[in-house]
């Protein structure tokens, strides 16, 4: 089930089977001067059907939006075997309820996605990456505001990692820090249709943040090999963490100003129980990847982390799962981010679409739902 059905290079709409690997779709599109609207570390193995089922976020969300906007149609097999053909290739269609939104992000609990039609953006002619260092999270946030203002429409990614992440990258993967040591690092990517225009904007932005001391150091890359090297500093943090033993991973959405407070609070709260408490992620989208490590799985540490981290998130009206979904492990914590009436309605929809409970049982919805 890995065939591309069609690609229209005027509208940019791609229709394909759910089993297509994301990276293969990217290559297919790049040959035709387009790109997929999403990009993530697992691109070499993940299927587009899975991406849609989990409403995957990734590195390009800041620029192209979520799958809820870019997916135009789906073909879904329902629990009773009926094939729901909502595989439209229309940008605008307000005829009735938008059923596909039920299945996007439903983690396979309402139906099995078998085909996808998705809107793809043009491949940018010019991509630049800047790697910057800030001395405080506050300055990082101000840099983000400056970035939004001066780079505007060409901004395609704004990611961060902290000094602890950089130490792990250097220690385990022997990657070099391209700039001086700073408490926070930012990866900024711009993508546009005109290299000269983009470079001018980027250089003006960089001059501004350097002279105003929002940024203490940084470097820029325009060549593909250097761009890959700078991105790997953000993309390989997960890999570096695996070398530290057991990792407790949390994917949280919070108001942007509060993101790093959670990391610092966890450090205070856990004290010496945890070996590492690191923060990195899609700061531009308000999404923190909080990772904690210990040499081996420690139930006492786990008890100290959960439900403290969920309560903390709930207090600031954040999401306990920004992009990773609930699945098996977080399904019972749904109430930290959703009111009980909402969860009850989800249960009704599940009962209607899958009365026998055969689709991905024990996932997504909490155990105590009737």
Q: Which residues bind other proteins (CB under 8 A)?
A: 125, 131-132, 176, 178-180, 206-207, 210, 215, 217-226, 228
Nearer to other proteins, 46 or 182 (CB): 182
Phi/psi of residue 274, nearest 5 degrees: -105, 145
Nearer to other proteins, 209 or 305 (CB): 209
> Least distance from C-beta 356 to other proteins, angstroms?
44
Torsion of CA 258, 260, 266, 268, to 10 degrees: -100
Nearer to other proteins, 125 or 148 (CB): 125
Closest to 19 in 3D by CA, of 58, 53, 46: 46
Q: Are 210 and 139 in contact (CB under 8 A)?
A: no
The whole-angstrom separation of Cα 235 and Cα 229 is 10
Nearer to other proteins, 156 or 291 (CB): 156
> Least distance from C-beta 370 to other proteins, angstroms?
55
> Least distance from C-beta 26 to other proteins, angstroms?
14
> Least distance from C-beta 224 to other proteins, angstroms?
3
> Least distance from C-beta 144 to other proteins, angstroms?
17
| Residue 228 CB contacts under 8 Å (≥ 6 apart), including other chains | none
> Least distance from C-beta 125 to other proteins, angstroms?
7
Residue 252, phi-psi category: left (phi > 0), alpha (psi -120 to 50), beta (remainder): beta
Nearer to other proteins, 132 or 169 (CB): 132
> Least distance from C-beta 186 to other proteins, angstroms?
12
Tokens of 246: 């057991």
Closest to 320 in 3D by CA, of 252, 262, 368, 272: 252
Nearer to other proteins, 18 or 169 (CB): 169
Q: Are 339 and 90 in contact (CB under 8 A)?
A: no
**Own/partner pairs, 244-247, CB within 8 angstroms, 24+ separation:** 244/168, 244/172, 244/275, 244/276, 244/293, 244/295, 245/275, 245/293, 245/294, 245/295, 245/296, 246/293, 246/294, 246/295, 246/296, 246/297, 246/298, 247/291, 247/292, 247/293
Nearer to other proteins, 88 or 210 (CB): 210
> Least distance from C-beta 120 to other proteins, angstroms?
20
Nearer to other proteins, 217 or 265 (CB): 217
């Amino acid at each position: 089930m890995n065939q591309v059905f069609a690609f229209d290079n005027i509208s940019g709409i791609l229709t394909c089977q759910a089993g297509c690997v994301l990276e293969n779709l990217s290559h297919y599109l790049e040959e035709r001067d387009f790109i997929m609207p999403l990009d993530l570390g697992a691109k070499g193995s993940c299927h587009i059907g899975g991406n849609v089922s989990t409403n995957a976020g990734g590195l390009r969300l800041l620029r192209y939006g979520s799958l809820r906007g870019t997916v135009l149609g789906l073909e879904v097999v329902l629990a009773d075997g009926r094939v729901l053909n909502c595989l439209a290739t229309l940008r605008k269609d307000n005829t009735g309820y938008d059923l596909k939104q039920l299945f996007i992000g439903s983690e396979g609990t309402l139906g099995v996605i078998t085909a996808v039609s998705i809107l793809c953006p043009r491949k940018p002619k010019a991509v630049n990456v800047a790697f910057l260092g800030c001395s405080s999270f506050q300055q990082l946030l101000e840099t983000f505001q400056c970035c939004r203002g001066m780079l505007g429409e060409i901004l395609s990614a704004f990611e961060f990692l902290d000094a602890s992440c950089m130490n792990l990258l250097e220690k385990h993967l022997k990657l070099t820090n391209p700039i001086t040591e700073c408490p926070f690092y930012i990866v900024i990517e711009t993508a546009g249709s005109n290299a000269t225009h983009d470079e001018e904007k980027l250089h003006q932005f960089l001059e501004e943040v350097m002279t105003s001391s929002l940024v203490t150091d940084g470097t820029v890359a325009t060549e593909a090999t250097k761009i890959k090297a700078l991105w790997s500093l953000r993309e390989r943090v997960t890999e570096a963490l695996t070398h530290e033993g057991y990792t407790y991973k949390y994917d949280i959405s919070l108001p942007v100003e509060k993101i790093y407070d959670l990391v610092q609070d966890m450090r205070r709260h856990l004290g010496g129980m945890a070996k590492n408490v690191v923060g990195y992620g899609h700061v531009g989208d308000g999404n923190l990847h909080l990772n904690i490590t210990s040499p081996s799985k420690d139930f006492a540490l786990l008890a100290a982390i959960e439900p403290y981290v969920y309560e903390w998130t709930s207090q600031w009206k954040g999401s306990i799962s920004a992009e990773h979904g609930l699945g098996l492990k977080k399904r019972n914590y749904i109430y930290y981010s959703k009111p009980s009436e909402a969860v009850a309605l989800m249960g009704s929809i599940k009962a209607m679409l899958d009365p026998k409970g055969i689709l991905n049982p024990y996932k997504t919805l909490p155990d105590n739902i009737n």
